[in-house]
Amino acid sequence: MNLYLFTMILAASLVTVLLRFLPFWVLKGRRTPDYIVYLGNVLPYAIMGMLVVYCLKETSLLKAPYGIPETISVLITVLIHRLRRNTLLSILAGTVCYMFLIQAIFR
C-alpha cells in the first residue's frame, strides 16, 4: 500500500513539475503554437466540469438515499456562491451541509 501510494504521488508530481518547467526549456521567447494557446483557454472550463462529475461518480440515484444529500449540498454550494462569490464560504457551506445531512439525517 505504501509503495503504491508513494509511486502514485511521484507520478502526479513528475507530470506537474514537467508542465511547469516545459515552457522554460522549449520556449525561451519563441511563440507558443496557436493550438496550444487555444487549448489553454478552453481546457480549464471543460476539466472543471469533468472533476465535478468525477467527485459525484459513486452517487447512486437508484439506491437510497437516491443522491439526495449530494443534490442538496451541490445546490447549496452553487446558491451561496452565486450570492456571495466567496470561494471559502461556498466550500465551507457545502461541506458542512453534506456532513450534517449524512451524519444526522440520511443515516
Partner 1 sequence: MLFPYNTGMKDLNGTYAKDSSLPAALKATVPVMSGYVVLGMGFGLLCQSSGFPAWAGILMSLIIYGGSMQFVLVGLVTSGASLLSAALTALMVQARHLFYAISMVDRYRDPGAAKPYMIFTLTDETYSLVCTDEIPEGCDPDRYRFYVSLLDQIWWVGGTVLGVLLGEVLPFNTAGIEFAMTALFVTVFVEQWLSTRNHLPALIGLGSSLACLLVFGPSRFLIPAMVLITVLLSLFRTRMEQKEAGQ
Binding stretches for partner 1 (CB under 8 A): 2, 4-17, 19-24, 27-29, 32, 35-40, 42-58, 70, 73-74, 77-78, 81-82, 85, 87-88, 90-95, 98-99, 101-103
Q: Cα separation of 4 and 15, whole Å? A: 17
Nearer to partner 1, 8 or 66 (CB): 8
- Half-sphere exposure at residue 3, Cβ-oriented, CA atoms within 13 angstroms: 0
Supply the minimum distance, in Å, between the C-beta of residue 64 and partner 1. Answer: 16
User: What are the counts of helices (DSSP H) followed by strands (DSSP E) for the chain?
Assistant: 4, 0
